Copies of this chain bind each other. A is one copy, B any other.
Amino acid sequence: MNVRADLAQRREELHAVIRAAAIAEFAEHGLRGASTQGIADRAGISKTKLHYYITSKEDLYQEVLDHIIGLWDDLFHETPDSDDPEGFLRDYIARKLLFSLEYPDVSRVFTSEVMRGAPMLRAHWDASRTATGRAADRIAGWVAAGLIRPVDPWLLQFNIWSLTQAYALHATEVRFMLGLDDDAPLDLDHITQEVTQLVLRGLRP
């Protein structure tokens, strides 16, 4: 009875493994530099088997991109509309950093795509712009209410993105500078504290 279910689940699991492998490979080498052999190796399967489960490298890449967008949407869809900037920003920054340090390759794939002009991201960006616009309105509301000093609501968001993603993109550099091993974990709490303080104090009226 659940033979079918088992099969479906297995397929799903393998697909997840492949996706993870693809994210790692794309994060390191970008779309063009990534090889299906490399993805297969990371997934622990043969190249032929990989191609049995995917349509093409580009399709897999697009799927990864969609998956990333989905992850980020999930992560911030439930954000409560708040008139408490401090609480909201603390939460937002903490989440972003947590995710960045947990899944740095996700940010890397995204940035890699943006750096080449984001040809496969445009479809998603219309929705992103709308969401970012709504957030900008909220920030403008805070400014109007005197809760934070006057800032450009769009640039503030870009700045927070950059502060939180940088520890994913440049993790290797950060580790090196701090004298850590290449696989040592970064101190999430400390980073969160420092970034949060910079932003919150930087916005004081």
Contact = CB atoms under 8 A, between A and B. Distances in A.
A178 interface: yes
A158 to B, nearest CB: 6
A150 to B, nearest CB: 9
Contacts of A134: none
Contact of A176 (B31, B108, B122, B203): B122
Nearest to A150: B197
Number of copies: 4
A33 interface: yes
A17 interface: no
Interface string A30-71: 111110000000000000000000000000000000000000
B173 A114 contact: yes
B116 A29 contact: yes
Given A166-B166, A197-B202, A173 B116 contact: no
B194 A155 contact: yes
A198 B157 CA distance: 12
A202 to B, nearest CB: 3
Contacts of A117: 28, 172, 182
Interface stretch (A73-81, A83-91, A125-133, A138-146): A125-133
Given A33-B33, A111-B111, A159-B195, 4 more contacts: A33-B34, A111-B169, A162-B165, A166-B166
